Amino acid sequence: MAACTGFSSDHFKSICIFLILFSLSSYLGSTIKHCLADANVEVLCLDAEREGLLAFKESLTDPSGRLTSWVGQDCCKWNGVYCNNQSGHVTQLNLRNPYQLINGGVGDSTAYKGSCLGGKINPSLLHLKYLDTLDLSLNDFEGAEIPEFFGQLKNLRYLNLSFSSFSGEIPPQLGSLPSLQYLDLYAYSFSSNSGSLELHAQNLNWLSGLSSLKLLNLGFVKLDHVGADWLQAVNMLPSLVELRLHYCQLQGIPLSLPFINFTSISVLDLSENSFNSAIPPWLFSLTSLTKLYLRWNFFTGHIPNEFANLKLLEVLDLSNNLDLGGQFPKLFGILRRLKGLDLSANNLNGEVHEFFDGFSGRPNNLEYLDLSSNSLEGELPKSLGNLKNLQYLRLSGNSFWGSIPSSIGNLSSLRKLDLSYNRMNGTIPESFGKLSELVDANLLQNSWEGILQESQFMNLKRLESFRLTTEPTKKFVFNVSYNWVPPFRLKSIQIENCQVGPSFPVWLQVQTELTSVILRNVGISDTIPGDWFSKLSSEITYLILSNNQIKGKLPRQMNSPNLRSIDLSSNHFEGTLPLWSTNADELFLQDNRFSGPLPENIGSLMPRLQRLYLSWNQLSGRIPSSVCNLEDLQILSIRSNNLSGEFPNCWYHSQMFWGIDISNNSLTGSIPSSFGSLRSLSVLLLSNNNLSGGIPYSLQNCTGLTSIDLGGNQLSGSLPLWISENLSSFFMLRLRSNLLSGDIPQRLCNLQNLHIIDLSHNSFSGAIPRCIGNLSALVYGNNSEVFQQLIWTVVKGRNPEYSNIIADVNSIDLSWNNLTGQIPDEIGNLSALHILNLSHNQLSGAIPQSLSSLASLSKLNLSFNNLAGKIPSLPNFNDPSIYEGNPLLCGAPLPTKCPGKHSPLH
């Protein structure tokens, strides 16, 4: 090369051509190539490397044709291939999937899969002897093992296999790459079979050969078998700057180290493991740390004051450690470089004044602060306004009270404010309107009071989400003029229990970009302009306007293909039912004035319905059979309408149908036998209709039944034995006011979860089974809240009937039958019993003394039987009407005195 210097360009080329023609040695060939390069002559890739790449391509799958450019002689021009511009050697192979992740996920899985490379990795890559960069990230190799031969690519400095669905053991041969500086094996997979993929390591000893390593990412690699010395292996990497061991199932972390070698580390992520110890003291010797992630572990004890040693710390995440508690530490206020602090979901308590005061009188960089889901309390201090660079402030799920301090207006960069689920019982200051960068304000579930005025919104030009709820007993008013037009266009709004009405104001009418609307109990009694519904964004997913007095008719159609949940309940809407969205999951229209029949084709109009609530309206006609085509239906609630005809007998398709309430209508015919196909049926409420026939035997297939109410019909026959044989979870059995007869079977006592028994107003005969004293739920008062909640979920809304029933849980009502024999003494075992009504039967004999032991009993009625003898001492039941109609009873509280001790009555 020295001989070539000093020549003109043309002369230089002549010399090089001469050398090409006459030189046969590899040395001269190499010299010629360098000469040509220096003379701006294009350098081609080497044949062996091109052939190696082509063989590599042949082994891959490439559904999107990302490697179609891999043709021709010059592989240096191929997509993803980079060469040294002097030697022509391939140095970089960048085949990262170009698919753009959406919020850390793939969004469209089909599009993602279609852009993935896959197949096998051919050892022909070993022809690329000068390769220093290999990136195969975000592809899908469907569980293939990482090739061992990667350990022979001795010049590798950068290896990225993240998000590429490799599995098996990490080959220890990777430890034979002395030049490697960047190793990313992050094993989270977007593959369709990701659940069966597992990348793991038996130990980390192979790391010792990577003396140049600066970044190591083994996130989601299973390391539960590496033992307690995993940290010692990492500690042998003196150049390490970034270590990420997120969700590696590490079982423990040493509390001490004999020496610390990796002091250059700047980023450390040990989140989502299983350490279950105090925070290890050696962490505080890593004074180069700028980012530290320790979330979702089981760290215990207090937050050490030694965190103050980490002067360079910019991000600290200690969230979701649950048992990390004690007084809230003030020490973080002195870390001047701190930009992000997340202490959420721990067990911290006390006040935060000293912490915020620590930022007083000096610049600070804090941009992100999350203290949510702790046990913090007190008023928010004025010093909150010192955090002038703060962009995200999350304080939800604590016990803060009082008002928002007026200094909030100093947070001119604030984009998200979350004070939800606290005890804030004061006002929102006027300075709230200074938050010109605010995008999301979440003030849900507090006890706000006071007034919001136009001035508190005038500068909120970027506001996209506004959520505020208070207690119904509080007075909170939106005091803005009817015609006021705000500067923002919201995407999400939630206001509950606040006075927005009575009119539907212009500031709401102009919100045409909403994707979620919740205006519950806001005092609107106006009609809503019909064009507002049509102007709503086609992207809207939630539309909730419940518990107002909104009147008028609704448009028949809306262009809302994404509308999932519609709740217009408890208003004064009238006209035909609005069946707007074919994709709706939930439709709540109960407690309105809708009239007319249910659409015959409701099954095709809203095929994805899971919950349909139409109770307390004026609907008439028959229940269409197309409702049986709603395969995803879970709850059908059409109580208290004017429906007639027979219940369709076509329930063969629904897999998740668990709640039916058609009570208080005028249905006729028999209970559909096809209900027996609803294996998941839990709550069946058909009371107060004109149903006849027997209780269908097919219901025995519904083994998950918890509550039946068939009262107020004309059902006949006996109590089916299968009720006591197959339904171990029974909570409520209510068959009152029918034509049922026969004995009460002994097997009824097998229902150990039975809390409510109402067989009154029938023609049952025979004796009360003595085993009734064995009903566990009435002996011990077992937890019944879950069963009650199931009923309330199905009934939904105003229902004094079930309010009384649930209030009287743990009850037995056998009144108005033809029962004979004695009252079983075993009833005295039912310690949790609240109500016992045996009136209007033909029971005889003495009242059991054991009733006096029922301390929980609040209502008792034994009237109109043939009971005899002295009334036992029941201090809480001194009303004579309880015992009237039993002429042979005597003693207090009845006026009839009992005869002497020699009387036959004794």
Encode pLDDT of 686-709 as tens digits: 999 999 999 999 998 888 899 999
Count Cβ atoms below 10 Å from residue 887 Cβ, excluding itself: 10
* Model confidence at 114: pLDDT above 50: yes
| Mean pLDDT lowest among 29-38, 73-82, 331-340, 808-817 | 29-38
**331-335-336 Cα angle (round to 5):** 145
Helix or strand (DSSP H, E) at 812: strand 811-813
Residues 578, 602 contacting (CB under 8 angstroms): no
Burial 66-104 (b: 16+ CB within 10 A, else e): bbeebeeeebbebebbebbeebbbbbbbebbbebeeeee
pLDDT score at 12: 34
SS3 454: helix
Confidence (pLDDT) at 20: 36
Tokens of 560: 């809302």
Q: Other CB atoms closer than 10 Å to residue 601's CB: what's the count?
A: 12
Number of other residues whose CB lies within 10 A of the CB of residue 360 = 12
Q: In this structure, are residues 784 and 792 in contact, taking their beta carbons and an 8 Å threshold? A: no
pLDDT digits (tens, 9 = 90+) for 650-661: 988 777 899 999
Per the domain annotation, does 757 fall within a domain? yes
Over range 777-795, report the average pLDDT: 87
Domain boundary among the residues 810, 844, 878 is at 844
Confidence of residue 904 (pLDDT cuts 50, 70, 90): very low
pLDDT at 42: 65
Range of the domain at 12: 2-38
Interval 151-176 mean pLDDT: 96
Q: Please give the pLDDT value at position 683.
A: 96
pLDDT given at position 560 = 83
Q: Dig out the tokens for 758 from the structure.
A: 């109402």
CA atoms of 226 and 210, how far apart (whole Å)? 18
Question: Is residue 773 in some structural domain?
Answer: yes
Neighbours of 629 (CB within 10 A): 16
- The residues, ordered by sequence, that sit 6+ positions from 231 with a Cβ below 8 Å of its Cβ are 253, 254, 257
Global pTM?
Answer: 0.83
Whether pLDDT at 8 is above 50: no
Query: Model confidence at 725, in pLDDT bands (50, 70, 90)?
Result: confident
Asked whether residue 772 is assigned to any structural domain, the reply reads yes
User: Which segment of 34-43, 93-102, 437-446, 461-470 scores lowest on mean pLDDT?
Assistant: 34-43
Strand intervals (E) in 409-526: 416-418, 440-443, 450-453, 465-469, 476-479, 492-496, 516-520
- CA 659, distance to chain mean position in Å, is 22
pLDDT band at 901 (very low <50, low <70, confident <90, very high): low
Nearest-angstrom CA–CA distance, 427 and 417: 15
- Number of folded domains in the chain? 2
Is 774 inside a domain boundary? yes
3 state SS of 403: coil
Q: What is the pLDDT of residues 12-61, one digit of tens each?
A: 343 333 333 333 333 333 433 333 344 445 678 999 999 999 999 999 99
Tell whether omega for the bond before 893 is within 30 degrees of 0, i.e. cis: yes
- CATH at 798: 3.80.10.10
Report the chain's mean pLDDT, rounded to a whole number: 90
Residue pair 325/304 in contact by the 8 Å Cβ criterion:
no
Q: How many Cβ atoms sit within 10 Å of the Cβ of residue 618?
A: 13
> How much is the pLDDT for 36?
37
Give the model confidence (pLDDT) of 731-781 as tens digits.
Answer: 999 999 999 999 999 988 988 899 999 999 999 999 999 999 999 999 988
Question: Is residue 53 exposed (0-12), middle (13-18) or buried (19+ Cβ within 10 Å)?
Answer: buried
Averaged pLDDT, 658-665? 96
Final residue belonging to a domain, choices 800, 823, 844: 844
Give the Cβ contact number of residue 689 at 10 Å: 23
Query: Is 20 part of a structural domain of the chain?
Result: yes
24 domain-assigned: yes
Please indicate whether residue 23 or residue 508 has the higher confidence score (pLDDT): 508
Residue 734 located in a structural domain:
yes
pLDDT over 80 (residue 217): yes
> What pLDDT sits at residue 726?
66
pLDDT band at 364; cut points 50, 70, 90? confident
3-state secondary structure (DSSP) of residue 377: strand
Is 740 among the domain residues? Answer: yes
pLDDT, position 905? 39
Query: How crowded is residue 358: how many other Cβ atoms within 10 Å of its Cβ?
Result: 18
